[in-house]
Amino acid sequence: MEKKQSKKIKKILLILCIITAGLFLSFGGYIVFLFNSYKLDINKLTSVNNGIKVYSASMTDSTLYNSNRSIIEIDSLPDYVLNAFIDTEDKRFYSHNGFDLKRIVKAGFVNLTSHSKSQGASTISQQLVKNALLSNEKTFSRKIKEIILSVKMEKKFSKDEILEMYLNTIYFGSNAYGIENASKTYFNKSAKDLTLNEVCCLAGIIKSPSYYSPLKNYNNAIERRNLVAKALYNAKHITKDEYENVVKSPIILTKDEYDYSYEREAILEACSLLNISERELINRKLQIVTFKDDNLQQNIITSNNEVLQESTDNENLDSLSIVANNDGKVIGYYANSNYNLHNLYRQPASTLKPLAVYLPCIIHNILSPSSQILDEKIDINGYSPKNADGQFYGYVSVRDAVARSLNIPAVKALDYVGISKASETLSNLGIILDKSDMNLSLALGSTKNGIKVIDLLSAYSTIANLGISKGLCFVDKILDENGKSIYCYEDFSQRIFKEEDCFLLTDMLKDVAKTGTAKRLNDLNLSIASKTGTSYNGENNTDLYNVAYTTKHTMLTWIGNLKDNKLPNSLSSSVQPTQINKQILSFLYKNSKPNEFNCPENVKKLPFDYNEYVDNHIIVKPATDLERYKKYDYFKLSNPPQENFNKDMNFSVELNKTGANLTFNANKSKQYSIIKQTNKGVEEIANIVEQSGEISILDKNIFVFDEIKYVLKCNLEEKEIKIRPKDYLINLLNNEIKIGKKKWYV
């Protein structure tokens, strides 16, 4: 029985061994098949064209980080440069044959226990193959291909050749490919001149260029740099003093001499349009044609540098200027900063008032430009905003409140229209609020997460287009390596708001540029709408804005300090950002002027009563044709000045022996007419013009009529009083008889 059991076990083991051997041979055969089928593209691997060609609208070659001009040989680099990457990325680089089995096993165990694919165990050879030849997808088949091609590459090239190719192609963020480009991008120097501190920073970036970029996440970059320095110290490639000196030092960034900010935006947009990575964009040798105006771009750069250098010696200032045609094509974009301003979210301050407050009020016919709001001390459920200067100005028009950027009228107006309508308006402009933003402080541009600055420009561009949204874009065409177009810009237009609503808002913003906070633009003698904004954190100003637009262009300039989040007191939104935009506008219109904003058919400049406006703060139709008692402004035909039905004329008629004494209160801007109606006809007995106060009219010819109706007319309003003169005489005579003690009565 035991022998049979033993034979059975041996048989099972034999079968298992045969199956295992078969699987092993099959897998081995599969690997051999793959090894022979996967070809190593040496041309791609050794290509030095790591840049992306980005052309301006004039098709001038504006190649971004073209490695034909930035390749570097590792023999020229200090030892600590090479060691920093090897000690951090691949300690056994010089001993393995393309892949590190120990790291693969360890990474596999971590991935199994963590149920993720976070550990890749890629050697420097594998990283080079992936970056130069493969995609970034995390799949088993891609990993096998990566290992096989790495082994083939190790057979074809020496370790130093592989390391040199690696250092000249690896991605360091901010569109910098290769260590030479990265050195120029972050430190404005050649890689051979990098300090140990700078090398540790760069070696730390490549694990996750976005997360460890000192431009985006400075603290993360410091932490990762220290880890690289620790690896160098543990490998005995630097001394303890050198290590301690690195971890105690800041990362001091120096801007590249050439501005690549426009090209960076174009590359990101091209990747989004084609749904590919930047590396794929490079590998496919695609070319990007943009809408950039080279001359304008240089003017924007010069304007930013001149104004900021004249205003302050603070080296930490950041600025961003964007100029777009009103069809949405961005023709100039300059990010003057050591930080990546692509996704810059900041508090919009007063630049949000026209969009979140006054536009919805106009849309819903709650306010017109001349509507008056009482600027006074307020307390709305504990919320007590103040104007920037701490003053109160009494009744002010919406037009004046916008021009002077007053806070209290904006809060009141938002309270009138309601938060939900304001949120809906902003949403239509592409500005999405957080739930915590749904309160009255929104009127002053206070939001939880801030607003993307380029989205703010896009919103104003929609207003400039009188309600038509175009969407901002940088890319005109994308060409393959043979010059064949694979993408062409298509105009996208969508009406968001009615043109009459946007025109009224624009007309008020023109006053900002004439007499308001952006009045520095006035002497350009152009039809310009503008808005300024200043964000304040309770102690210091943090953000300054000027948005300006004409019928042809929309532009925005922002100034801030991303390092310290505070600005010098010498800077203000009405000065520096406004001055930068002024210089840009001067350049744009040096040879011609933009057209005026066309008044839509549904908007008219209409008169309203000046005295009622001053005395009672209401907008009503004039009571007279006299021009000196009229005031004019633009109104939507759906919300014109209303009829003035005066309730306090106090019209009365008193009879006496002489006749009927008619009295009423008059306003000198109104015209009054008193009509007398009897059984013998109708006649006008008085016409009163330009008189004020109590008016008395005596009508002596009354006792021949049984009944008289007096009608007081003022515009469309009428007041009437009926009297019976003979009844009055009878009552008068009876009273006299009573007094004389007569015994008979009439």
Q: Which two tokens stand for residue 359?
A: 């536009």
Q: Which residue has the tokens 């001091």?
A: 252
Q: Which two tokens stand for residue 689?
A: 């013009």
DSSP three-state, residue 493: coil
Strand partners, 634: 605
The closest of 272, 260, 274 to 215, measured between CA atoms, is 260
Low-confidence winner among 237-246, 518-527, 551-560, 661-670 (lowest mean pLDDT): 661-670
264, pLDDT greater than 50: yes
What is the mean pLDDT of the segment spanning 100-118?
Answer: 57
Low-confidence winner among 24-28, 211-215, 370-374 (lowest mean pLDDT): 24-28
66, pLDDT greater than 60: no
What is the mean pLDDT of the segment spanning 353-369?
Answer: 96
The closest of 124, 90, 82 to 238, measured between CA atoms, is 82
444, pLDDT greater than 80: yes
261 or 31: whose pLDDT is higher?
261
CATH of domain 652-738: 2.60.40.10
Q: What is the pLDDT of residues 396-441, one digit of tens each?
A: 999 999 999 999 999 999 999 999 999 999 999 999 999 999 999 9
34, pLDDT greater than 60: no
| 325 close to 519: Cβ distance less than 8 angstroms | no
What is the mean pLDDT of the segment spanning 231-250?
Answer: 94
Strand partners, 322: 333, 556
Q: Which residue has the tokens 């939900």?
A: 420
The full DSSP string for 429-484 is TT-PPPGGG-SGGGGGT--SS-EEHHHHHHHHHHHHTTTEE---B-EEEEE-TTS-
Beta-sheet pairing, 287-290 with 53-55: parallel
647, pLDDT greater than 60: no
380 or 589: whose pLDDT is higher?
589
What CA–CA distance (Å, rounded) separates 407 from 349? 11
| Domain regions of the chain by residue span | 1-37, 70-258, 349-449, 603-636, 652-738
What is the mean pLDDT of the segment spanning 31-37?
Answer: 54
Where helices occur in 275-352 by DSSP H, the ranges are 278-283, 294-311
Is residue 192 packed enough to be buried (19+ CB in 10 Å), middle (13-18) or exposed (0-12)? middle
Residue 44 has φ and ψ, to the nearest 5°, of -70, -40
Q: What pLDDT, on the 0 to 100 scale, is given for residue 504? A: 98
User: Domain 70-258 falls in which CATH fold?
Assistant: Penicillin binding protein transpeptidase fold (1.10.3810)
Low-confidence winner among 121-125, 233-237, 315-319, 332-336 (lowest mean pLDDT): 121-125
Q: What is the pLDDT of residues 517-576, one digit of tens each?
A: 999 999 999 999 999 999 988 888 999 999 999 999 999 999 999 988 999 988 999 999
Residues ≥6 apart with Cβ < 8 Å to 594:
526, 527, 550, 551, 552, 553
47 or 297: whose pLDDT is higher?
297
Q: What pLDDT, on the 0 to 100 scale, is given for residue 654? A: 93
- % of the chain surpassing 70 pLDDT: 86
* Class in CATH terms, 349-449: alpha beta
Task: Give 29's pLDDT tier (boundaries 50, 70, 90).
Answer: low
746, pLDDT greater than 50: no
Residues ≥6 apart with Cβ < 8 Å to 524:
582, 585, 586, 589
Q: What pLDDT, on the 0 to 100 scale, is given for residue 354? A: 97
Is residue 236 packed enough to be buried (19+ CB in 10 Å), middle (13-18) or exposed (0-12)? exposed
575 or 33: whose pLDDT is higher?
575
Residues ≥6 apart with Cβ < 8 Å to 432:
426
What is the mean pLDDT of the segment spanning 459-473?
Answer: 95
495 or 48: whose pLDDT is higher?
495
What is the mean pLDDT of the segment spanning 305-321?
Answer: 86
Q: What pLDDT, on the 0 to 100 scale, is given for residue 118? A: 46
36 or 330: whose pLDDT is higher?
330
DSSP three-state, residue 396: strand
636, pLDDT greater than 70: yes
16, pLDDT greater than 90: no
Q: What is the pTM of this model?
A: 0.74
Torsion-angle region of residue 228: left (phi > 0), alpha (psi -120 to 50) or beta? alpha
Mean pLDDT of the chain: 86
Q: What is the pLDDT of residues 169-180, one digit of tens each?
A: 888 887 788 898
Q: What is the pLDDT of residues 492-522, one digit of tens each?
A: 899 999 999 999 999 999 999 999 999 999 9
391, pLDDT greater than 50: yes
382 or 639: whose pLDDT is higher?
639
Q: What pLDDT, on the 0 to 100 scale, is given for residue 743? A: 41
Q: Which residue has the tokens 């091209």?
A: 270
The full DSSP string for 74-87 is GGGS-HHHHHHHHH
Q: What pLDDT, on the 0 to 100 scale, is given for residue 448? A: 92
CA atoms within 13 A on the CB side of 340: 22
Q: What pLDDT, on the 0 to 100 scale, is given for residue 261? A: 86
744 or 252: whose pLDDT is higher?
252
| 378 close to 412: Cβ distance less than 8 angstroms | yes
Q: What pLDDT, on the 0 to 100 scale, is given for residue 115? A: 46
708, pLDDT greater than 90: yes
Q: What pLDDT, on the 0 to 100 scale, is given for residue 68? A: 38
Q: What pLDDT, on the 0 to 100 scale, is given for residue 297? A: 95
Low-confidence winner among 128-142, 516-530, 628-642 (lowest mean pLDDT): 128-142
Q: Which residue has the tokens 């976005």?
A: 210
69, pLDDT greater than 50: no
Q: What pLDDT, on the 0 to 100 scale, is given for residue 713? A: 87
